[in-house]
Amino acid sequence: MQVEQRFLKYVSYWTTSDEDNTTGADVRIPSTERQFELGKLLEQELTELGLKNVTLTDHCYVYGLLPATPGYENRKAVGFISHMDTAPDFSGKDVKPQMIPDYDGEDVLLKGSGDYLKVSDFPGLKSLKGRTLITTDGTTLLGADDKAGIAEIITAIEEIIASDQPHGDIWVGFTPDEEVGCGADLFDLDYFKADFAYTVDGDYEGEIAYENFNAASAVFTIKGVNVHPGEAKDIMVNAALVACEIQSMLPEEETPAHTEGRKGFYHLTDIQGDVASARLSYIIRDHSRTSFEMRLNKLRTLEIEANQKYGSGTVALTITDSYSNMLEVIEKHPHIVDIAKQAISEAGLNPLSRPIRGGTDGARLTFMGLPCPNLGTGGYGFHGPYEHISVEGMQTAVKVIRNIVSITADMD
């Protein structure tokens, strides 16, 4: 099956995850039962391809092994991983892709919404001129993040089998709930026996990414004192105003709207409150561990200062670590990046390494003991109605995966 056919089949499955089911005492993985429908299909496809150790777990993780070619059993075992869920930011139900052969490099009408995918917003569209472009119809996201990665991995495996390409053990793994930060939570490294792996979950098909944010969430809970405003002098503590004051103490220029590259940020994701109580929710990001810790300490200082000003117990800060920058581990295993760069070059592209302004399952897995940088899929504009990908980009990603397998098989 062609990679684009496989991709179009996968995006027809509604697999949106739900962050509301991944917090508190009642954490569920998968966060939505609908992810099992795609999981069952992938389990069936891997089985039909003849992979061994194929399983769909009770928590919707799919694993499979393509055993080494005879004589290659002692080569390093390599893994490829993608996620099945789509982001809860925008609808992933009833996806209606648009196929545009010989794309002209201009703005694209999204026929379902009447909106346009604009070159002015996505200048990279110009580089896709002449390709077969796949977009949304404007009413949903597309699902290239990360069903393109799944399609590319399985297509590469199918081509390896059909061509009798020599290889060591190849493990594949498909996770639920990556988009809500839980994709690696129950990943079974006792079952998935790769020596190293790659998540296939980036954009440019020549990308090899191995540097991501250090990440944490932070919540300020504010307890006010609510009395009649006519008798409030020296008594009232307006929790909503305290929340506004805390936010005002953070640098305006250090937000997502004003940062790029390796610059970190404080991101206020939610604010609730009235006089009696208020709540501020943040995500904190920085590539530098030192700068990241300085950001967290800034929040701790704000908590202390608010309690000194308004009374002990007025403000409580809770910080929860999310993931760490995989660079500190990957730089101890440079050959894994070198393999990918060679594979990308052999596919006719210039390898591109950029800091990820986010995280991947690979970052978590790296700190769990499986070094796991990230490869591009050829998709762009993720998490919304402007998501798009080209058939040729996916085909190149398949070549990169196959090249990695060949290079690994030739290693002593």
Least confident of 20-34, 66-80, 378-392: 20-34
How large a percentage of the chain has pLDDT more than 70? 99
Q: For this structure, is 178 an active site residue?
A: yes
Q: What is the mean predicted confidence (pLDDT) over 289-317?
A: 97
Annotated active-site residue in 178, 179, 201, 361: 178
Chain segment 345-372, per-residue pLDDT in tens: 999 999 999 888 887 789 899 999 999 9
Select from 35, 45, 43, 33 the least CA-distant residue to 13: 35
359 and 379 fall within a common domain = yes
Mean pLDDT, residues 139-158 taken together: 97
Q: How far apart are CA 132 and CA 100, in angstroms?
A: 5
Phi, psi of 128 (to 5 degrees): -95, 5
CA distance 80 to 329: 18
Cα–Cα separations (whole angstroms), residue 168 to 57, 200, 292, 333 = 25, 19, 39, 19
Task: Looking at the structure, tell me whether residues 132 and 197 fall in a common domain.
Answer: yes
Mean pLDDT, the chain, integer: 95
Task: Annotate 97-165 with DSSP letters as a single string.
Answer: -EEETT--SS-EEETTTTEEE-TTT-GGGGGGTTS-EEE--SSS---HHHHHHHHHHHHHHHHHHHHT-
- Same domain for 252 and 167: no
Contact, 237 vs 410, CB < 8 A? no
* Ramachandran class of 71: left when φ > 0, alpha when ψ lies in -120 to 50, beta otherwise: left
The answer to whether residues 81 and 193 belong to one domain is: yes
> How far is it, in rounded angstroms, from Cα 393 to Cα 378?
5
Query: Which of 85, 158, 361, 387 is flagged as catalytic?
Result: 85
Last residue of some domain: 268, 300, 322?
322
58 and 198 share one domain: yes
Q: What is the pLDDT of residues 182-230, one digit of tens each?
A: 899 999 999 999 999 999 999 999 999 999 999 999 999 999 999 999 9
Residue pair 82/157 in contact (Cβ under 8 Å)? The answer is no
Which parts of 183-341 are beta strand (E)?
196-202, 208-209, 214-223, 265-273, 277-286, 315-323
pLDDT band at 73 (very low <50, low <70, confident <90, very high): very high
Q: What is the mean pLDDT of residues 62-68?
A: 98
**Largest alpha-carbon pair distance within the chain?**
86
- Quote the pLDDT of residue 378: 96
Please indicate, yes or no, whether residues 167 and 242 belong to a single structural domain of this protein: no
Residue of 363 and 317 predicted with greater confidence: 317
% the chain with pLDDT above 90: 92
**267 within 8 A of 256, measured Cβ to Cβ:** yes
Distance separating alpha carbons of residues 410 and 412, to the nearest angstrom: 7
- In a shared domain, residues 258 and 359: no
Bridging pattern class, strands 388-390 and 214-223: unpaired
Q: Which residues does 273 contact at the CB level (< 8 Å), separation at least 6?
A: 222, 239, 240, 243, 279
Boundary-marking domain end, from 322, 346, 371: 322
User: Residue 274 is encoded by which pair of tokens?
Assistant: 């009235």
Calculate the CA dihedral of residues 412, 368, 296, 253 and round it to 10 degrees: 50
Identify the band that residue 335 occupies on the pLDDT scale cut at 50, 70 and 90. very high
**Integer Cα distance of 133 and 150 in angstroms:** 18
3-state secondary structure of 174: strand
Same domain, 316 and 329: no
Query: Any bridge partners for residue 388, and if so which?
Result: 135, 380
Q: Is the pLDDT of residue 139 over 90?
A: yes
Calpha distance 403→165 (Å, rounded)? 10
Catalytic annotation on 85? yes
The amino acid sitting at 250 is L
Q: What does DSSP say about strands 115-117 and 78-83: parallel, antiparallel, or unpaired?
A: unpaired
Residue 153 predicted with pLDDT over 80: yes
Residue numbers of the domain that contains 277: 214-322
Size of the chain in residues: 412
Domain limit, last residue, from 322, 356, 386: 322
In whole angstroms, what separates CA 187 from the centre of its chain? Answer: 15
**Count of the separate structural domains present in the chain:** 2
CATH of the domain at 313: 3.30.70.360
Question: Quick check: 24 pLDDT over 80?
Answer: no
- 261 and 133 within one domain: no
Would you say residue 282 has pLDDT above 80? Answer: yes
Is residue 179 located within the same domain as residue 243?
A: no
CB atoms within 10 A of CB 158: 18
Tokens standing for residue 140: 């949903």
Same domain membership, residue 129 and residue 51 = yes
Amino acid occupying residue 166: P
- Kindly state whether residues 31 and 142 are assigned to the same domain: yes
Alpha helices in 311-360 (DSSP H): 327-330, 334-346
Q: How does residue 42 score in pLDDT terms, banded at 50, 70 and 90?
A: very high
Q: Which of 153, 132, 94 is nearest to 399 (CA)?
A: 153
Given the DSSP bridges, would you call strands 78-83 and 196-202 parallel, antiparallel or unpaired?
A: parallel
Burial 161-184 (b: 16+ CB within 10 A, else e): eeeeebbbbbbbbbbbbbbbbbbb
Domain CATH code at residue 17: 3.40.630.10
Give the mean model confidence (pLDDT) for residues 5-26. 87
Can you give the pLDDT at residue 181? Answer: 85
Rounding to the nearest 10 degrees, give the CA dihedral for residues 41, 46, 47, 48: 90
